[in-house]
Each structure stands twice: as C-alpha cells, then as structure tokens.
Structure 1
Amino acid sequence: MHLAVDWSTIPTQFVTLTAAFVICSLLGVERHFHQKNAGVKTHVLVGMGSCIFTLISAYGFAPVLGADVHLDPSRIAAQIVSGIGFLGAGVIFVNNDTVRGLTTAATVWLSAAIGMACGASMIPLAVYALFLHYVTVFAIGPLSNLVPETGRNKRTVIEYEAGQGVMRRIMLTATQLGFKGMVNKSSPIRTESGKGMRVIMQFEGHAPTEELDMALAQVEGVLAVDTVTKDRLD
C-alpha cells in the first residue's frame, strides 16, 4: 500500500517540533544550572520524542482512514505518560534514608508533557508551563525553605561509649519525653576510654527537639549530641 506524504501538514509539524526543542532546552537549562544528572540533552530528547509521538498520533495514520478504519489519536499519546515513568525512575536514588532526584524526575515528566502539548499545537500552554516551572524552582522553592522545620528533615548524631547499655538508656530517655526513635545508621568509633559508637537517629515527637538534645547529653555514657539536617549528612 502506497502512502503519500501530506505536504500541507509539514510546516505545522516542523513548527511544533521546533517549539518542543526550544522550550525543553530552556527547561533543561534550569536542571543543568543546578548540576543535576538529567540536563539539557535529556530534557530536549524527551520533549522532542514526546512531540513526535503526538504528531504521529495526529497525522501518521490519516492516509489509512476509511469507512472501516477509525483513528483514536489519544492511544499513542497515552502511552507516553506511562512510559516516561521508567525514565524518570532512573534519576531517582536513595542514599541511606534520603531520597534524591525526585525534582529532576518530575521535570523529565514535565518535559514529556511540554513535548506532547507542542505536538498537539498547544504551544502557549507549553510556554506557560515552562514559566510556572521557573516560578516553582526559583521563587516557591526558596520560600518553602523559610517554613519552620517539623523535625522530619532533622537527624540526631550521638556518640557514646560502647558495651555499657547506653543505647537502651537513650531510647528510654526519648520515650519518657514523648519521642519515638529510630536508628538510621551506626558506625564504630574510638574514644578516650576505648570503643564507642556513632549513631544517626531520627526522632519523632511533639516536644521541642532542643529539650531532647539536652536530655540525651545528660545520659550516662553519651559523649556528644548534635542535631543536623539530612543535607549535611550526605
């Protein structure tokens, strides 16, 4: 079966693909600026690929349409949404209890959406999505850092003498103050008295963490207590 090229649609296809290239380039620039693994090239390729798939859905099967052949333009485009999840998952990794790459994965997903929007000739929507992305990253993101911490992103680093039942006393003290503790990581250390342990713990409770830190510092056998954010541990 011979399929003739519909040259009348070529300018539209080239314009939408070029728009996907430009907009997704600007999207990737932001990730490159923040030195993330998925940079300009990844976002451009994802956006252009999504745009091409959408164009195929819209124009690729038009010549075979007939009384017995019906076209559902959304079928190929719908698969992009689920398929892009595998690529996004590739930029997410876990370091101890810290999950990284979620924003980059979401940006890759947005790049696919922008490419689909361009492919569907919804270029103004794609541009507006890029604008809102920059607002989110450069305005809302820094503002959210000003919100007081609830303790979820804080970790308590404790050094203590090993083999003296200190951990049991630490957990008992935390429980008495209304905290629930969990050890994220532990490692042996050398102290002036011999062997010791250094543990990174996460405590959940309603009382101020400063009160907990002061109480833990008074536990017999505890050498040092320090509360830090997860970022300082990476």
Structure 2
Amino acid sequence: MWQSLLGDEVGVQLMLLGSAFVLCSVIGVERQVRRKSAGYSTHVLVGLGACIFTLISAYGFSGLAGADTPHDPTRIAAQVVSGIGFLGAGVIFKGSSTVRGLTTAGSIWITAAVGMACAAGMVALAAVATVGYLITLLVFAPLVRKIPTDSADTDIRVVYTDGTGAMRHILEVASSNGFSTSFEGSRKTQTKDGATVVTVDLRFLGGAAPQTMIPALTEIPGMRSVKSTKALATAEGEDVD
C-alpha cells in the first residue's frame, strides 16, 4: 500500500522516519517543558534510533535473504526493546528513601515503541499511542493526584538554612520512621539577615500520618520551619489537592 502511494521503498522509509520524528518530538517537548533530565533531544534521538533500526531490520537485509539465509526482520527490533531498558534505567534516580525518574523512563520506553511502530508502517497506532501518552500525563495524572487518600496530610513543607545538611537528616528521620519520601518542589531565597534558606515540599508515604514526624524534624540543626501543606493552604484560604 505504501509503495503504491510513494512509488519506491526510499520514499516509504523517509516518510516513516519523518512520522517518527514528529510524534517523538511531541513527547520530547512535554518532557522538556517539565524540565526533566531526559528532554526533547533525548526522546527524539531515541525514537529516531528505534525507527532506523527497525527500518534496517525490515529493508536492509532483504537482498541477502535466500533459501539458505532466511530473513527475520524481528531480530533487530527485539534487540531494540532490550536495549531501551538499559537507557531507561539510566534516568532513574534512587536515593536512600526516594525514587525519581520512573515517568521519564516510561516516556523513553514509549518513545522507542512509537519509533518502531512508525518504521513498521503502523503510523496510526503510533499517533494514537502519542495522544494516549499526552492524555495520561496532562489530564489523568493531575486528576488522580486529587483523589483523597487514607491520610490526606501526606505533604510537609520544610524551611532550613542552606549548607547545614538538614536534608540528609530529614531523609534519615523519614526512613527510620518507615516513610518513603518524594520531592514535590524546592526553591532558595535570601532572608533579611543575608542567610540563604531552602524551602522544600516533601511527600511522605508510610503506614502512619507524617505529622508524627514533625517534632523530630523541628529538632534538626538548621531547621527553621516544619508545617503540613494542608495547614498552610488552610491558613491562606486555598484548596488542598
């Protein structure tokens, strides 16, 4: 069908590669806007690489196929799937009690799948997968975060003096109390006395309420403030996610 539209295999290959470029660019832009470690360039290169390898597998060795050399176009594609797993693992950061980069690793995985689907001529499937990716991250994920949990107060905002090593002690306290910790955001500011303070929003997940740790967190050297974000939002008259 493709050859009847474009006339030759080269035209087909270039069109499929262009489709992979466009769709993978959409995924890469989303990651770039969110300032992730693997941004636009990484995702486009992964998608194009997966597409090229699949095209090579489908077209590159067809002339060598014969009775004694059967052509199996799935071999290189299967190796692409295995290789992308190592690349995805490289963007995952695991601390003593935190794991970050899982979504970016998943985006790299689906980018490779989109590239391979384009190379296989399944452009419609690749386009639907790209749309599904965007809907999942931009629509459903924010909605899921709004669903109330058993403990609504899982987020705590801490303010500490920069350079005191307070974050290391925070993670130690959380770990010793059975909590896993994720970073929701941070910023540095200057106080009137010239000191640099760091404000960090943390999410603690565990069996008990995170508020039980507040007394221990306030005793950490360099700590200036420890409050639940729900209490902060209530004080400011805001809605709590």
Same fold (TM over 0.5): yes
- Counterpart residue identity of residue 182, structure 1: G
Q: CA deviation at 1:94?
A: 2.1
Given the alignment of the two structures, is residue 182 of structure 1 paired with residue 178 of structure 2, yes or no?
yes
Q: Runs of 5+ in structure 1 lacking a partner? A: 1-6, 158-179, 186-199, 230-234
The 3 A distance-change label for structure 1 pair 148 and 61 is same
Partner deviation per Cα, 1:131-157 (whole Å, 9 max, x = no partner): 001100111011011112345993789
Partner deviation per Cα, 1:168-192 (whole Å, 9 max, x = no partner): xxxxxxxxxxxx933779xxxxxxx
1:39 corresponds to: 39
2:10 corresponds to: 10
SS in 1 for 2:56: helix
Aligned length: 183
Q: TM-score, normalised by structure 1?
A: 0.66
Given the alignment of the two structures, is residue 85 of structure 1 paired with residue 81 of structure 2, yes or no?
no
Q: Runs of 5+ in structure 2 lacking a partner? A: 1-6, 158-175, 182-201, 231-241
Give runs of aligned pairs for residues 151-230 of structure 1, distance below 5 A: 151=151, 154=154, 181-182=177-178, 204-205=206-207, 227=228
The 3 A distance-change label for structure 1 pair 183 and 31 is closer
1:70 corresponds to: 70
Q: CA deviation at 1:39?
A: 1.0
SS in 2 for 1:182: coil
Tell which structure's C-alpha radius of gyration is larger.
Answer: 1
- Counterpart residue identity of residue 19, structure 2: A
SS in 2 for 1:142: helix
- Whether contact under 8 Å (2:94, 2:100) holds in the other structure is yes
Percentage identity across paired residues of the two chains = 45
Partner deviation per Cα, 1:10-35 (whole Å, 9 max, x = no partner): 11100000111111011100001111
The 3 A distance-change label for structure 1 pair 25 and 155 is closer
SS in 1 for 2:178: strand
